[in-house]
């Protein structure tokens, strides 16, 4: 198992940086255990002089973020950045214009990496709201799928705040999610609002982007770090077997730093309970329909001493919150790694394909549709060859996905 | 980092430029002599020296610098390394521009980039546009192109001129049009001063209307500065200053410094890094929902170096945000936080205020926090804005936010706010009513028609263009309740039985 990660745009690059440093912190004091070796192989290339190099391609259309990257023990060699100016928060500009400038050099680097080592998965980290990340990202991902149709491509997509970061975020989100949905098999979605909530309850009062990035990186690393026991062959594609339902969401027992001392004793039940509560308390609205959590597929990944017992995970066996048209055996999988993760005694992550995403999709489509019917901001997109028809087909696609999820 | 070319046209433009360049040097922590150090600059210098160094090329051409590892601390360093300002100074009189060729900073300005003539444009738009335009076209374009060739990453042109005079408005409009032709993909930002309320030139209404027509057609974004608003701010600031310090600066310099600080704030997103990226190019995408509606009301806080404590706490930051969005700090007559009286409607006077102002609609807004602002702060402010600002039913989510790491010199934090609102109608009305009175009498028109190339119909044409854009802003205000239903999902719900791959 080897990963090649791609970080697109401002947001993607910040997260990529934090992700690699999380992994580095996780394994740096380990020497030559199986876990260490697997993890090293998975994320890094070791050069002849013994220096580590992140197997990661950084793509941005302006060099502000990448320029300020401090060099650490490991380096980033593959950097595709141009001084072209940002993508103006415009998906069309990134997708149709700026991607041409970077596409060739990216594909070249991918080929070189493939020659070095057998790479099983491509992971793309991007935000859907902006221009560079979502626009250039969608184009590159489409090309990757064309060039390497058999590789496993997965995306980590960061969704914008519902009440606004950018004025064009809803257009960008709809266009990029629709493109990614057709091009790839699975996307892990991170809602900024939920991350922000997690941070505000667990961390301190004044939150910065770095805090959000840390949560995302922690969650991603906790599912993708190696599982050494032989029976556990967890693959994220297990969860996205239906071609309409490709969106996954993560919940993990992110440790509180503020109240660390007061945390209850480290049992799996204590870790799991708050997460399950979030599922139970979910309230969704679609037109007049009231939704309750329905889970299609789920996986639990635990890291730490003692494998959780069946009884502790019994919630996942209950039929109440699961759809009834998938056999039980497929619906739930459990993986365990006995090594600690990031120095925490116990870490638990739940990965689900569920309908909690409905609220986000519904309001994003609603807001974008409002603007679309007023024809606001459309001239920026038409200027870069995104026609009304393309908008309409993207809207149609997203409505289909939303309908699918809300009728689970 | 993003680069900008400053094009300063006419007396007003060059006066603003005259205070712009010292402020830029101050921001980049360049001292005047070898020994002197800026007291205020020091706060930034130690903390942000990397960012400041990285973005030095934004306003200066450093292609002549030999070594890669450069650092500048005073003017003689710049002189030795042949650093040039990315500025084009154009005036048809020598008076103001000569300050560049005589001051301490004269080595910064390339001889080719200073274009002068004698005599001036006689406060006549037509003379600036037609006579001087055709005469100096080659020369101006040559110096702009050579300046643009020295850029790796040109983010935009910033044009500075006043709308009332002859050279600024006339030649400025001409240059704007040429830039659109020669650099269609580079954004053109215009910071223009409208002499509303204090017209010192009898032909100002003509000049303003004719120049506004060109702004509507050729500019990417316009940041109008109303003279009356600037005057109000300076008088208020002087009162504030006098209580603490004795103010010795002249009102014109104060007004110029407001324009300068606003420009530095607007361009800061492209020059410095930030957690939430904000590039100047993004202003156009975020703020202009329909073509040609690109007149943005801008404001920032703190204004002036004396009127704010550098202590940074949650409450001072929030106060600063409210100040940045308040009516008092706007560069145009506009009040974004109009709905704040809603809970206190018992008071009849307040009720009247509410009614007077509610006729405006905000199409889009933007907040840029610099320095200590955190994500939590910005989330809170956006919520406040969405509650208190008269957004339209479809534009209530249209707030862009940005965070920039480096605050302005001497401050721990600052806030810039931009709004695209229908209040710009006031400006158009004020302008066109005066224009109409003059035109009815056909007063002074012979000065214009006597210029070769100017046709009397141009007056009607510009009147129509301005009326059209006014109409567009007027239409936006009318709430449109008709909604088009969303698309119906096109899938079959009977998928419940399917096989697992």
User: Measured between CB atoms, which of B279, B498, B500 is closest to A86?
Assistant: B279
Q: Which chain B residues are closer than 8 Å to A368 by Cβ?
A: none
Q: Strands of A61-99 (E only): list them.
A: 74-81
- Contact (Cβ atoms closer than 8 angstroms) between residue B144 and residue B113: no
Q: A374 and B394 in contact by Cβ < 8 A?
A: yes
More confident residue, B1 or A327: A327
CA distances from B57 to A159, B3, B45, B64 (A): 34, 7, 17, 12
* A407 inside 8 A of chain B by CB: yes
pLDDT at residue A70 in the model: 55
* A161 inside 8 A of chain B by CB: yes
Chain B CA closest to residue A88: B282
**Please, what sign has the CA dihedral across residues B118, B124, B125, B127?**
negative
- Mean pLDDT of all residues in A362-368: 91
User: Measured between CB atoms, which of B153, B376, B486 is closest to A365?
Assistant: B486
Q: How many CA atoms lie within 13 A of B21 on its CB side?
A: 27
Work out the pLDDT band at A62, boundaries 50, 70, 90: confident
* A201 inside 8 A of chain B by CB: no
Q: Count H helices, E strands: chain A?
A: 14, 13
Chain A CA closest to residue B282: A88
ipTM, interface predicted TM-score of the complex: 0.86
CA distance B278 to B266: 10
Q: Which chain A residues are closer than 8 Å to B157 by Cβ?
A: none
pLDDT at residue A230 in the model: 65
Q: Which chain A residues are closer than 8 Å to B54 by Cβ?
A: 67-68
Share of chain A above pLDDT 70, in %: 91
Q: Tell me how far apart the 2 most distant CA atoms of chain B are, in Å.
A: 86
More confident residue, A368 or B243: A368
Q: Is the pLDDT of residue A173 over 90?
A: yes
pLDDT at residue A259 in the model: 53
Q: B379 and A379 in contact by Cβ < 8 A?
A: no
More confident residue, B54 or A301: A301
- Rounded to the nearest angstrom, the gap between the alpha carbon of residue A177 and the centroid of all alpha carbons in its chain is 12
- Mean pLDDT of all residues in A77-83: 72
Q: Would you call A290 helix, strand, or coil by DSSP?
A: strand
Mutual angle of helices A192-202 and A209-224, in 10-degree steps: 100
Share of chain A above pLDDT 90, in %: 24
- Contact (Cβ atoms closer than 8 angstroms) between residue A80 and residue A106: yes
User: Measured between CB atoms, which of A208, A330, A380 is closest to B375?
Assistant: A208
pLDDT at residue B67 in the model: 64
- pLDDT digit string, tens, across residues A1-51: 788 999 998 888 889 888 988 888 888 887 778 888 888 888 888 888 878
User: Measured between CB atoms, which of B314, B403, B491 is closest to A403?
Assistant: B491
Mutual angle of helices B314-324 and B375-388, in 10-degree steps: 40
Q: B155 and A85 in contact by Cβ < 8 A?
A: yes
More confident residue, A299 or A201: A299
- Mean pLDDT of all residues in A99-127: 89
pLDDT at residue B417 in the model: 93
Q: B153 and A200 in contact by Cβ < 8 A?
A: no
- Contact (Cβ atoms closer than 8 angstroms) between residue A23 and residue A225: yes
Contacting A residues, span 303-362, partner chain B, CB-CB under 8 Å: 325-327, 330
Contacting A residues, span 212-251, partner chain B, CB-CB under 8 Å: 212, 241-242, 244
Q: Report mean pLDDT in 10-residue bins for chain B, 501 residues.
A: 88 88 84 55 61 81 72 79 87 78 80 80 87 89 89 87 87 92 90 80 88 92 90 73 47 82 90 83 89 91 67 84 86 75 47 54 90 88 85 83 86 89 88 90 88 89 92 83 80 54 41
Other beta carbons within 10 Å of B440? 8
Q: A399 and B1 in contact by Cβ < 8 A?
A: no
User: Measured between CB atoms, which of A62, A326, A379 is closest to B279?
Assistant: A62
Test mutation, B5, B397, B401, B494, chain A, max A CBs within 10 A: B397
Q: Which chain B residues are closer than 8 Å to A407 by Cβ?
A: 493
- Contact (Cβ atoms closer than 8 angstroms) between residue A119 and residue A113: yes
Q: Which chain A residues are closer than 8 Å to B403 by Cβ?
A: 209
- pLDDT digit string, tens, across residues A210-235: 888 988 999 999 888 888 876 666 77
**Please, what sign has the CA dihedral across residues A131, A133, A139, A142?**
negative
CA distance A324 to A154: 27
* A86 inside 8 A of chain B by CB: yes
Closest CA relative to residue A251, chosen from A291, A270, A278, A284: A278
Q: B397 and A163 in contact by Cβ < 8 A?
A: yes
DSSP class per residue in A364-388: HHHHHHHHHHTTTTHHHHHHTT--H
Beta B114-115 vs B297-301: how paired, if at all?
unpaired
* A395 inside 8 A of chain B by CB: yes
Q: How many CA atoms lie within 13 A of A349 on its CB side?
A: 24
pLDDT at residue B445 in the model: 87
pLDDT at residue B83 in the model: 85
Closest CA relative to residue B255, chosen from B273, B275, B278, B238: B238
User: Measured between CB atoms, which of A167, A207, A395 is closest to B375?
Assistant: A207
Work out the pLDDT band at A91, boundaries 50, 70, 90: very high
pLDDT at residue A368 in the model: 92
Which pTM does this prediction carry?
A: 0.89
Beta B114-115 vs B60-61: how paired, if at all?
unpaired
CATH 3.40.50.1440 fits B3-298, yes or no: yes
């Amino acid at each position: 198992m080897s990963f090649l990660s791609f970080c697109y745009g401002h947001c993607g690059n910040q997260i990529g940086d934090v992700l690699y440093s999380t992994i580095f912190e996780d394994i740096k004091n380990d020497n030559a255990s199986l876990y260490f070796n697997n993890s090293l192989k998975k994320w890094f290339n070791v050069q002849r002089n013994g220096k580590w190099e992140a197997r990661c391609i950084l793509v941005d259309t302006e060099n502000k973020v990448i320029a300020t990257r401090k060099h650490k023990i490991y380096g980033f060699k593959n950097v595709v950045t141009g001084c072209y100016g940002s993508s103006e928060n415009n998906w069309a500009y990134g997708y149709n214009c700026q991607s041409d400038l970077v596409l060739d050099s990216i594909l070249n680097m991918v080929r070189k990496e493939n020659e070095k080592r057998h790479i099983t998965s491509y992971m793309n980290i991007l935000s859907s709201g902006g221009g560079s990340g979502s626009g250039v990202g969608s184009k590159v991902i489409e090309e990757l799928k064309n060039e390497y149709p058999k590789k496993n491509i997965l995306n980590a997509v960061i969704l914008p705040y519902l009440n606004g970061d950018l004025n064009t975020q809803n257009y960008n989100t709809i266009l990029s999610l629709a493109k990614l949905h057709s091009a790839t098999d699975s996307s892990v979605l991170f809602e900024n609002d939920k991350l922000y909530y997690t941070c505000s309850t667990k961390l301190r009062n004044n939150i910065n982007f770095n805090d959000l990035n840390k949560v995302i990186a922690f969650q991603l690393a906790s599912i993708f770090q190696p599982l050494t026991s032989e029976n556990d062959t967890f693959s994220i594609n297990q969860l996205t077997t239906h071609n309409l339902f490709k969106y996954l969401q993560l919940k993990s027992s992110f440790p509180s730093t503020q109240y660390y001392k007061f945390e209850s004793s480290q049992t799996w039940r204590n870790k799991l309970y708050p997460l399950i509560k979030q599922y139970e308390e979910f309230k969704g609205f679609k037109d007049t329909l009231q939704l309750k959590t329905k889970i299609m597929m789920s996986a639990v990944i635990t890291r730490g001493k003692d494998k959780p017992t069946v009884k502790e995970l019994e919630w996942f066996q209950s039929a109440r919150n699961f759809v009834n048209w998938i056999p039980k055996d497929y619906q739930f999988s459990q993986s365990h790694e006995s090594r600690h993760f990031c120095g925490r005694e116990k870490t638990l992550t739940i990965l689900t394909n569920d309908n909690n995403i409905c609220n986000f999709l519904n309001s994003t489509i609603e807001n974008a549709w409002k603007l679309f019917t007023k024809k606001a901001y459309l001239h920026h997109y038409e200027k870069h060859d995104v026609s009304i028809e393309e908008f309409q087909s993207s809207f149609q696609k997203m409505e289909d996905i939303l309908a699918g999820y809300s009728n689970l | 980092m993003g680069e900008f070319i400053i094009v300063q046209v006419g007396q007003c433009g060059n006066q603003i430029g005259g205070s712009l360049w010292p402020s830029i040097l101050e921001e980049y922590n360049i001292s005047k002599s070898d020994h002197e150090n800026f007291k205020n600059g020091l706060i930034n210098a130690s903390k942000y020296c990397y960012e400041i160094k990285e973005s030095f090329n934004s306003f200066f051409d450093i292609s002549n610098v030999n070594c890669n590892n450069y650092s500048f601390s005073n003017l003689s360093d710049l002189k030795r390394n042949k650093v040039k300002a990315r500025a084009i100074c154009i005036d048809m009189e020598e008076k103001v521009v000569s300050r560049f060729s005589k001051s301490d900073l004269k080595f910064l300005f390339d001889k080719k980039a200073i274009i002068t003539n004698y005599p001036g444009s006689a406060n006549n738009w037509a003379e600036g546009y037609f006579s001087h335009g055709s005469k100096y076209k080659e020369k101006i374009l040559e110096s702009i192109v050579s300046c643009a060739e020295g850029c790796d990453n040109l983010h935009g042109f910033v044009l500075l001129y006043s709308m009332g005079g002859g050279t600024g408005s006339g030649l400025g409009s001409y240059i704007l049009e040429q830039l659109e032709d020669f650099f269609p993909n580079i954004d053109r930002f215009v910071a223009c001063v409208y002499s509303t309320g204090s017209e010192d030139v009898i032909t100002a209404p003509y000049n303003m209307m004719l120049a506004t027509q060109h702004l509507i057609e050729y500019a990417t974004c316009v940041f109008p500065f109303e003279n009356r608003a600037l005057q109000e701010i300076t008088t208020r600031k002087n009162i504030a200053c006098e209580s603490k310090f004795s103010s010795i600066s002249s009102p014109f310099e104060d007004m110029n410094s407001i324009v300068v600080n606003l420009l530095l704030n607007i361009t800061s997103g492209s020059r410095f890094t930030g957690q939430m990226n904000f590039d100047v190019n993004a202003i156009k995408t975020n703020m202009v929902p329909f073509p040609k509606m690109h007149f943005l009301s801008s404001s920032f806080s703190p204004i002036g170096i004396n009127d704010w404590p550098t202590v940074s706490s949650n409450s001072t930051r929030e106060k600063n945000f409210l100040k940045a969005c308040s009516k008092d700090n706007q560069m145009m007559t506009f009040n974004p936080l109009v709905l704040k009286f809603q809970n206190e409607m018992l008071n009849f006077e307040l009720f009247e205020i509410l009614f007077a102002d509610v006729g405006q609609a905000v199409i889009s807004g933007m907040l840029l926090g610099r320095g200590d602002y955190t994500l939590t702060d910005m989330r809170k402010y956006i919520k406040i804005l969405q509650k208190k600002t008269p957004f339209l039913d479809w534009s209530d989510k249209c707030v862009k936010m940005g965070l920039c790491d480096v605050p302005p010199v001497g401050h721990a934090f600052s806030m810039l706010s931009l709004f695209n609102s229908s209040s710009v109608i006031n400006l158009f009305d004020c302008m066109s009513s005066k224009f109409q009175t003059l035109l009815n009498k056909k007063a002074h028109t012979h000065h214009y028609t006597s210029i070769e190339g100017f046709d009397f119909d141009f007056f009607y044409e510009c009147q129509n263009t301005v009326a059209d854009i006014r109409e567009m802003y007027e239409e936006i205000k009318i709430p449109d309740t008709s909604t088009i239903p969303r698309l119906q999902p096109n899938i079959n719900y009977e998928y419940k039985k399917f096989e697992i791959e």
